[in-house]
Structure 1
Amino acid sequence: METNQYLDVFIDESKDNLQVVNDKLLELEKEPTNISLVEEIFRAAHTLKGMSATMGYEDLADLTHKMENVLDAIRHEQVNVSTSLLDVLLQSLEYLEEMIMDIADGGEGKKDVSKVVTQLQAIEAGEQPISEVESNAATLAESPVDHQMKVDQFEETVIHQATSDGQQVHYIKVTLSEDCMLKVARVYMVFEVLEQNGEVIKSVPSVSELEDENFDQSFEVILVTGISEEELEAKIMKVSEVSEVKIEDFNKLMVDQPTVEQKAIKETEIQEEEAEINQNSKTSEDGTKKKSAGNKTIRVNIDRLDVLMNLFEELVIDRGRLEQISQELDHNDLKGTVERMSRISGDLQNIILTMRMVAIDQVFNRFPRMVRQLTRELGKDINLQIEGAETELDRTVIDEIGDPLVHLIRNGIDHGIEMPEERKAAGKPETGQLLLKAYHSGNHVFVEIKDDGQGINQEKVIKKALENGVITSEQVGNLTDRQVNELILASGFSTADEISDISGRGVGLDVVKNTIESLGGSIEIDSVYGKGTTFSIQLPLTLSIISVMLVIVQDETYAVPLSSIIETAVIKDTDIMKAHNKRVIDFRGSIVPLVDLKEVFEVPSNGKEQDEFYSIVIVRKGDQMAGLIVDSFIGQQEIVLKGLGNYLTDIFAISGATILGDGEVALIVDSNALIK
């Protein structure tokens, strides 16, 4: 049978069924006696097994069949649900997801799953399962040879970013001499050397185990650094009672054996917009059948929607041109026709944008399993709450927001929420709360990550910022609480004062900030020390068609996004004051610095002298404001956002360009960069 024509349907249906299995397994952990949940998981697994066998993916079908046997034993009460059993089932689910992703990438869906199959068969036979999480420590302690350290999704992203920035990632194994008496002191001295020369991403055994002297003679770390292996080895060997140091390129170690977590990054590829043509009949109380309404949907390949969007963007450009021509000719019939076309194209624009909207739960639904895994590894008790998962965003934004949220959630679990005993000593409930919330407000979507952990120690942040040269001592007195909190978003910023698997809150948070701002969004941090922290992300609904204010600077036209503008104003030159050698104005009781776009973009002069009045566009980023000086305003307009191409990357304060109705190209101003 020719199966290629059914491949897309198979992948979509498989992802649907795997999501059902994922959600219901997490629910089953909370309600282990709820057999109806097991029935739902069994049905989804059974459907997946049948489809896999039909398509010829035997490894996929075989693993699903083994899972099905265990689920059958649970629903017939031959096996009891336990945390270890769920660990094995969730591990099996990860393998299934990897196999489906391999098939989606053109592979054959093959994978060595013998280890988890053996565990499933043991469970089916009535043996007590030992999960991978529980067996890791024992395996590491027993292994006499070097092993490849596993990194999770967060750590993998940090390593990838460091490599992109030209830094080196080293795998380091340090062995202490047999007669070493103060092992913990030597470990501390080694870590002090490491942290003076880079960032420690992970250690095995963990930091707490090293501090408790729960290791033999050796330990391993992953270090991001800018120095060579030879130089680093020489520095470590200077620590007394270190007998051997082994250093290798971590990225080379991982080439031949990618970890589960590395492959799991592929999960950030969002599924195609989905639904089913499903017109089912249902029987009414009197026995007659009524036709179901409201279930008429169809799967559409996202590439087709992209093509449709591109064509409509060209239509928007031509619409602007027609509107300008009709104004110039002043022909009533032409004006009426153009106005009608503008209304119709506006309705069409709303429909197309709605078709591209995807519920954010496609990103949110992978976090419960991640939180469960991290809390077990860290020994914490955390309750994850999700609100507003039905909130919709443009598919382009959805594709990019996954990794920043992974960073922030990992940050909240790892550094925000304390250990149960610490929470109890501080008078808090032992179970920490982590809230992931999304909601619409105007033309934006807000995503909040809130924890009730230890919050941000602002004194420590300021001290570290001064040491790192992020701020000067003169600036300290002028910083607001929010500005102090946002210092942790600086590149490589860390407030850790002792060795840590991930040194402080700062690792990776600059990546979060850069990604969000590249989407036209912003991030704010509110924190009360000892009470908790809230990260608030503001994102645009869509990235392709935006509303702007067109302004004139000399003889050039620029576009300022309306989402950044508070208001426009015309002021006298006598209203401009000087503060710290910069021009400022008093705007409703606030001192707002002025930025002259003519100077920023080095616009050639047209020979006209500046009169006594200035046209100002007041823009905002968080609680910071600036006034952009322009020559005049054209007005509000909807424009199509176009990239500048591969040759014009990283242009300061320019986020893109657009084509106006008269064919002129206008650059789009990134006001966030100007406020920085």
Structure 2
Amino acid sequence: MDTAQYLDVFIDESKEHIETLYRKLLDLEKNPNEKTIIEEIFRSAHTLKGMSATMGYNDLATLTHTLENVFDAIRYERVRVQSEMIDLLVETVDQLQIMVDDISGGGDGSHNITRIEKQLQLIEKGQLLEDTEQDLVQEEVSVHTTSVFTNIDEFELSILNESQERGFQNFEITVRLREDCLLKGARVFMVFEVLEQLGEVIKSDPPVSDLEEEDFEFTFSVILVSNQAPKEIEEKIKKVSEIESVMVHPFSITKYRESKDSNSSVNKITDHNSVNKDKEEQQKELQVPVKNQQKTIRVNIDKLDVLMNLFEELIIDRGRLEQISSDLKNADLQDTVERMSRVSSDLQSIILTMRMVPIDHVFSRFPRMVRKLARDLEKQVDIEIIGADTELDRTVIDEIGDPIVHLLRNAIDHGIETPEERLQKGKIEKGTIKLKAYHSGNHVFIEIEDDGAGINKEKVLSKAINNGLLTEREIDALTDQQIYELIMESGFSTADKISDISGRGVGLDVVKNTIESLGGSISIDSELGKGSVFSVQLPLTLTIISVLLVELNKEKYAIPLSSIIETAIVSKEQILSAHHKKVIDFRGKVVPLVNLKDVFDIPNTNLDDEYTSIVIVKKGEKMAALVVDSFIGQQEVVLKSLGSYLSNTFAISGATILGDGQVALIIDSNSIIK
């Protein structure tokens, strides 16, 4: 079987299971006796093991199998969860992540897992990790004596015992066929021919009858009596084609008997319960109503992008048809176009929904990052995630991870105080970071809130003056939020000591630029001694947006509705001057007037007009009034990039093709307000 065609699915599903393992291990640390968490970890490890073995990634399969054994022991209360275990278990998942990343990059997932595998085996036996040095040495001798054979009868044991007395050796040999092997039965026959030349086969698992009928996966084991060296046995078996791996280990009769004796007393007690539990689990699975089962299929994001591009062309043609229908005023044509518009609107909703991904894909990696960083900084920090099921366009999801990481690192490093400082301030030792996501209108909001030290306004203002960003005369005109947002200026920091973890302000300009490049914005609120809130606003999607079409000297421009507060027509008397700039009074606030013709260097032919059309736009708390010639109307348009050659055009974020075939530039009001 050619597994290459399943590689992408394997990688995607493996990453999902690893994320589940990370998340549930952190939950387990808080609730070590919670059975449902233990069961979920066991299931994820079990599924990942099976997938890895099927794909032929042996190291990955071996380590997940060992992890599965640990949680099998935990769920049947042979081992008790202790805080000392969690670090090793998280490290184990780190190793799994490394192997999956290697496979994703074209590697074979090979990795040295000996040390961590043996430590997990000690945990499974209920031994303390502090005693590992001596135990690992002993384990090195006995690691291969655990047999896959559990039902060797006394007659077979007597043969093995007699062969040892006559100077022969007993070997347990495990052979794995390649998964593209077409005739498994023939390969097994050829392996047995080699084995019979080397000695005598005493037993096989599965039985010979099953092997002949090809009633097995790709792995089988035998017990061989031989006087050959293990290396020679391995090399001769490997000469058979379509063999993936061969493992030859000594078979210990003594260890086998000890294992049977120790298990027999436990099995009498546990077997009945285990069987009942398995039956109950199977019955529960079978009792799930069919109507609740959802069938899913994985689709490559590139295919969705192609689908979206095709739909964008359809939207452009729909606009063209609506224009033609309006011009011709043909009733049949108008009815058809209206129906087409309704259907395409439904189709648009479905396609956009297909591109939406729960933000949990980003959020799920943050708890372990917060845990590790807090320990490195000797702080105690809890993270509370709210709204992880909030959905966002995949394009935005891929870009938003790094900015949130930086904001979280800032919150831990410079927001949350040390336990000693918190106690002195009358707070509890452990700080809390709330990571919250929610929908509001056509946007998604992500808030990072900490209950730390907050932002010192005096320090911010002092630094701003020293950096030449402000004069002392300008300070009085600033709101608190405008002062806090100064920390997002390039190279700005209020920290007394800049660490290599972060620096509130060092890099926040990059965070701000990244968010704004996605059509979003960031605002800050803070209270000294109480904490800070960083609020990120993002558009739900980046490809199809609602705009207000306006006209400048017979040319059409589009302003995104998400940034518009209001449109208005003002008279000459309402236009005032302040600091040699034109402004208007908008609901008690002074709003600067920006003539778009001046911004885009368009000849201004309407100087003597009595009335002026304006569009009030916002960016956070800031506003501006954009002067236009006239309003055309609201429309849904497809946002097209201008390409790399025109990517740095000021105040233009892209373009769109209108129904009449004209190209309208899309105005980036954020740039104008800045």
- How high is the TM-score relative to the length of structure 2? 0.74
The answer (yes or no) to whether the contact 2:79–2:125 under 8 Å persists in 1 is no
CA shift, 1:579, in A, is 0.5
The question of 1:20 aligning with 2:11 is answered no
1:664 equivalent in structure 2: 662
Deviations 1:285-336 (A, max 9, x none): 9x99963345233322222221111111001001111111112222222222
Quickly say closer, same or farther: Cα 1:36–1:338, change in 2 above 3 A. closer
1:572 equivalent in structure 2: 571
Q: What is the SS of the residue equivalent to 2:529?
A: coil
Structure 1: how far apart are the matches of 2:498 and 2:615? 48
1:643 equivalent in structure 2: 641
The answer (yes or no) to whether the contact 1:616–1:627 under 8 Å persists in 2 is yes
Quickly say closer, same or farther: Cα 1:465–1:569, change in 2 above 3 A. same
2:555 equivalent in structure 1: 556
Code of the aligned partner of 1:534: V
Aligned to 2:651, which of 645, 650, 653? Answer: 653
Structure 1: how far apart are the matches of 2:282 and 2:61? 33
- The 5 Å alignment of 1:479-628 reads 479-498=478-497, 500-502=499-501, 504-604=503-603, 609-628=607-626
1:101 equivalent in structure 2: 101
The answer (yes or no) to whether the contact 1:84–1:130 under 8 Å persists in 2 is no
1:446 equivalent in structure 2: 445
2:628 equivalent in structure 1: 630
The answer (yes or no) to whether the contact 2:25–2:41 under 8 Å persists in 1 is yes
2:120 equivalent in structure 1: 120
The answer (yes or no) to whether the contact 1:527–1:533 under 8 Å persists in 2 is yes
The answer (yes or no) to whether the contact 1:641–1:657 under 8 Å persists in 2 is yes
Q: What is the SS of the residue equivalent to 1:469?
A: coil
Q: What is the SS of the residue equivalent to 1:96?
A: helix
Quickly say closer, same or farther: Cα 1:35–1:335, change in 2 above 3 A. closer
2:200 equivalent in structure 1: none
Quickly say closer, same or farther: Cα 1:486–1:98, change in 2 above 3 A. same
CA shift, 1:382, in A, is 1.6
CA shift, 1:126, in A, is 5.2
Code of the aligned partner of 2:51: M
The question of 1:30 aligning with 2:30 is answered yes
The answer (yes or no) to whether the contact 1:546–1:641 under 8 Å persists in 2 is yes
- The 5 Å alignment of 1:305-454 reads 305-454=304-453
Structure 1: how far apart are the matches of 2:479 and 2:288? 66
The answer (yes or no) to whether the contact 1:284–1:290 under 8 Å persists in 2 is no
CA shift, 1:36, in A, is 4.5
Code of the aligned partner of 1:664: Q
Deviations 1:490-512 (A, max 9, x none): 11211122454456311221111
Q: What is the SS of the residue equivalent to 1:474?
A: coil
2:257 equivalent in structure 1: none
The question of 1:71 aligning with 2:71 is answered yes
Quickly say closer, same or farther: Cα 1:9–1:548, change in 2 above 3 A. same
CA shift, 1:13, in A, is 2.6
Structure 2: how far apart are the matches of 1:48 and 1:570? 64
Gaps of 5+ in 2: 132-280
The answer (yes or no) to whether the contact 1:557–1:667 under 8 Å persists in 2 is yes
Deviations 1:253-288 (A, max 9, x none): xxxxxxxxxxxxxxxxxxxxxxxxxxxx99899x99
Quickly say closer, same or farther: Cα 1:499–1:568, change in 2 above 3 A. closer
1:274 equivalent in structure 2: none
The answer (yes or no) to whether the contact 2:413–2:502 under 8 Å persists in 1 is no
Mean CA deviation greater in 113-122 or 45-54: 113-122
Q: What is the SS of the residue equivalent to 1:473?
A: coil
CA shift, 1:654, in A, is 1.0
Code of the aligned partner of 2:673: I
Structure 2: how far apart are the matches of 1:95 and 1:289? 35
CA shift, 1:355, in A, is 1.4
Structure 2: how far apart are the matches of 1:105 and 1:661? 45
Mean CA deviation greater in 575-584 or 16-25: 16-25
Q: What is the SS of the residue equivalent to 2:567?
A: strand
CA shift, 1:609, in A, is 5.0
Deviations 1:236-265 (A, max 9, x none): xxxxxxxxxxxxxxxxxxxxxxxxxxxxxx
CA shift, 1:347, in A, is 1.2
CA shift, 1:675, in A, is 0.7
CA shift, 1:50, in A, is 2.0
2:47 equivalent in structure 1: 47
Q: What is the SS of the residue equivalent to 1:520?
A: coil
Q: What is the SS of the residue equivalent to 1:326?
A: helix
Quickly say closer, same or farther: Cα 1:397–1:290, change in 2 above 3 A. closer
Structure 2: how far apart are the matches of 1:455 and 1:533? 5
The answer (yes or no) to whether the contact 1:282–1:292 under 8 Å persists in 2 is no
2:188 equivalent in structure 1: none
The answer (yes or no) to whether the contact 2:409–2:502 under 8 Å persists in 1 is no
CA shift, 1:75, in A, is 3.9
Code of the aligned partner of 1:524: S
Quickly say closer, same or farther: Cα 1:308–1:25, change in 2 above 3 A. same
The answer (yes or no) to whether the contact 1:496–1:503 under 8 Å persists in 2 is no
CA shift, 1:128, in A, is 3.6
Structure 2: how far apart are the matches of 1:284 and 1:529? 53
Quickly say closer, same or farther: Cα 1:313–1:580, change in 2 above 3 A. same
Code of the aligned partner of 2:536: I
CA shift, 1:69, in A, is 3.6
CA shift, 1:408, in A, is 0.9
- How high is the TM-score relative to the length of structure 1? 0.74
Code of the aligned partner of 2:621: D
Q: What is the SS of the residue equivalent to 2:310?
A: helix
The answer (yes or no) to whether the contact 2:410–2:502 under 8 Å persists in 1 is no
Structure 1: how far apart are the matches of 2:466 and 2:426? 33
The answer (yes or no) to whether the contact 1:551–1:558 under 8 Å persists in 2 is yes
Structure 2: how far apart are the matches of 1:329 and 1:372? 66
Quickly say closer, same or farther: Cα 1:356–1:503, change in 2 above 3 A. closer
CA shift, 1:564, in A, is 0.5
CA shift, 1:358, in A, is 1.1
The answer (yes or no) to whether the contact 1:522–1:538 under 8 Å persists in 2 is yes
Code of the aligned partner of 2:612: Y
1:10 equivalent in structure 2: 10
Identity of aligned residues (%): 64
Quickly say closer, same or farther: Cα 1:500–1:295, change in 2 above 3 A. closer
Code of the aligned partner of 2:22: N
Structure 2: how far apart are the matches of 1:604 and 1:118? 78
Structure 2: how far apart are the matches of 1:70 and 1:43? 12
Report how many residues are paired. 525
Structure 2: how far apart are the matches of 1:33 and 1:291? 32
Quickly say closer, same or farther: Cα 1:422–1:609, change in 2 above 3 A. closer
Q: What is the SS of the residue equivalent to 1:515?
A: helix
1:62 equivalent in structure 2: 62
Structure 2: how far apart are the matches of 1:329 and 1:576? 42
Structure 1: how far apart are the matches of 2:459 and 2:289? 67
CA shift, 1:115, in A, is 4.5
Q: What is the SS of the residue equivalent to 2:474?
A: helix
The answer (yes or no) to whether the contact 1:415–1:504 under 8 Å persists in 2 is yes
Quickly say closer, same or farther: Cα 1:129–1:655, change in 2 above 3 A. farther
CA shift, 1:561, in A, is 0.3
Code of the aligned partner of 1:555: K
Structure 1: how far apart are the matches of 2:402 and 2:363? 11
CA shift, 1:122, in A, is 4.8
Structure 2: how far apart are the matches of 1:288 and 1:351? 32
The answer (yes or no) to whether the contact 2:414–2:503 under 8 Å persists in 1 is yes
Deviations 1:551-594 (A, max 9, x none): 11113211100000011111112211110111000111110001
Code of the aligned partner of 2:522: I
The answer (yes or no) to whether the contact 1:103–1:109 under 8 Å persists in 2 is yes
Code of the aligned partner of 2:91: Q
Mean CA deviation greater in 309-318 or 607-616: 607-616
Q: What is the SS of the residue equivalent to 1:320?
A: helix
